[in-house]
Amino acid sequence: MRSGFVAVAGRPNVGKSTLVNALCGGKVAIVSDKPQTTRRRIHGIATGDDHQLVLADLPGFQRPRDALTEHMQRTVESSFEDVDAILFVLSARERIGAGDRFIAQRVFSLGPPVVIALNKVDRLRPGHIATQMTTASQLGDFHALHPVSAKTGDGVAALREELVELLPEGPLYFPEDQRTDLSVEAQIAELIREKALALTRDEVPHAITAEVESIEETAIQADLLVETESQKQILIGRGGSMVKEIGTRARPEIEQLLGRHVFLELRVKVKPRWRRDESMLERLGI
């Protein structure tokens, strides 16, 4: 039995969470086209007959701007301790540049083997993929480099095998049917936030958080929190259309998670400057 922990590093939006989901064979972390979607560490657990691979999905590396992003960056830094390997994710669709080199300096100096995943190779010309692989290979002394598409699943099985081979012999850290370490409340709040992120843009996604107030047999009460009255109006939408749409999109996934039908009551509230509020961040597990 091989088991152990792999931390997932990379710039925001390169597809770390999508890749963790693909490696785990199911949804663990929420995904969006906005950077800074992941705000806390989420363990995605992939258990096989002879292994348990625990992936620490993390926020992207970033320069902190407020208490929220400071906490996120601290989570990133502290998550590289005691891991068996590091999965360094790059986007093949973008220029591999200064941001990636900055992260490379960090991850290649840590000690554990670094596996590079060159993600988003779907629909790219082979020549372009080859060029990006060459650039990626110059980032540091990597253990292996895998071109993958987290979206289509291309290359994901080979990457998983590579990561499992790097794990030492060890016990099961989590029950074999467990796929994440997030509580059910936190998973539901994340699903709601995911739908809100998909429907908003500019500064609004960054100002949104979600919290579950109560879970009962047939009803869930949850809050969407934003920082200003105008953000609240955006989330409510004309005649309540936006918050209704968020609920409509979130409910099927929540029902799948819980295995039962529920009524989802969503309220939109203003919580000024919550991103700078230490106690609020603690409550959100950030």
Ligand X SMILES: Nc1nc2c(ncn2[C@@H]2O[C@H](COP(=O)(O)OP(=O)(O)OP(=O)(O)O)[C@@H](O)[C@H]2O)c(=O)[nH]1
The residue within the footprint of ligand X, chosen from 13, 73, 132, 200 (CB under 6 A), is 13
E strands, the chain, are 2-10, 42-48, 51-57, 85-91, 114-119, 144-147, 209-215, 219-226, 263-270
- Distance of alpha carbon 93 from alpha carbon 65, whole angstroms: 26
Nearer to Mg ion, 44 or 155 (CB): 44
Per rule CB under 6 A, is residue 14 in the interface with ligand X? yes
Partner from ligand X, Mg ion, none binding residue 231, C-beta < 5-8 Å depending on class: none
Find out whether 196 and 188 touch, Cβ atoms under 8 Å: no
- Give the interface size with Mg ion as a residue count (CB under 5 A): 4
Q: Shortest Cβ distance from residue 205 to ligand X (Å)?
A: 10
Nearer to ligand X, 94 or 185 (CB): 94
Segment 172-211, which members bind ligand X (CB under 6 A)? none
Is 54 in contact with 83 (CB distance < 8 Å)?
Answer: no
Closest approach of Cβ 31 to Mg ion, in Å? Answer: 7
Please say whether the beta carbons of 155 and 149 come within 8 A.
Answer: yes
From the list 90, 150, 164, 212, which residue makes contact with ligand X (rule: CB under 6 A)?
A: 150
> Is residue 38 close enough to count as binding Mg ion by CB under 5 A?
yes
Can residue 36 be called a binding residue for ligand X (CB under 6 A)?
yes
Q: Which is nearer to Mg ion, 53 or 55 (CB)?
A: 55
- Ranked by CB distance to ligand X, the top (closest) residue is 15
Total chain residues near ligand X (CB under 6 A): 23
The rounded distance, in Å, linking the Cα atoms of 227 and 272 is 4
* 17 part of the interface to ligand X, by CB under 6 A: yes
Of 26, 33, 130, 214, the one binding ligand X by CB under 6 A: 33
Q: Which of 3, 79, 132, 149 binds ligand X (CB under 6 A)?
A: 149
Partner from Mg ion, ligand X, none binding residue 112, C-beta < 5-8 Å depending on class = none
DSSP classification of residue 149 = -
- Closer to ligand X by Cβ: residue 13 or 231: 13
Near Mg ion in 1-20, by CB under 5 A: 16-17
- Its sign, for the CA torsion 104, 4, 17, 182, is negative
Helix (H, G, I), strand (E, B) or coil at 209: strand
Per-residue x/- track, 100-119, ligand X (CB under 6 A): -------------------x
> CA-to-CA distance for 22 and 153, rounded, in angstroms?
7
Cβ-Cβ contacts under 8 Å for 86 (sequence gap 6 or more): 6, 7, 8, 9, 80, 107, 110, 112, 113, 114, 115
Which residue is associated with the tokens 């906005």? Answer: 34
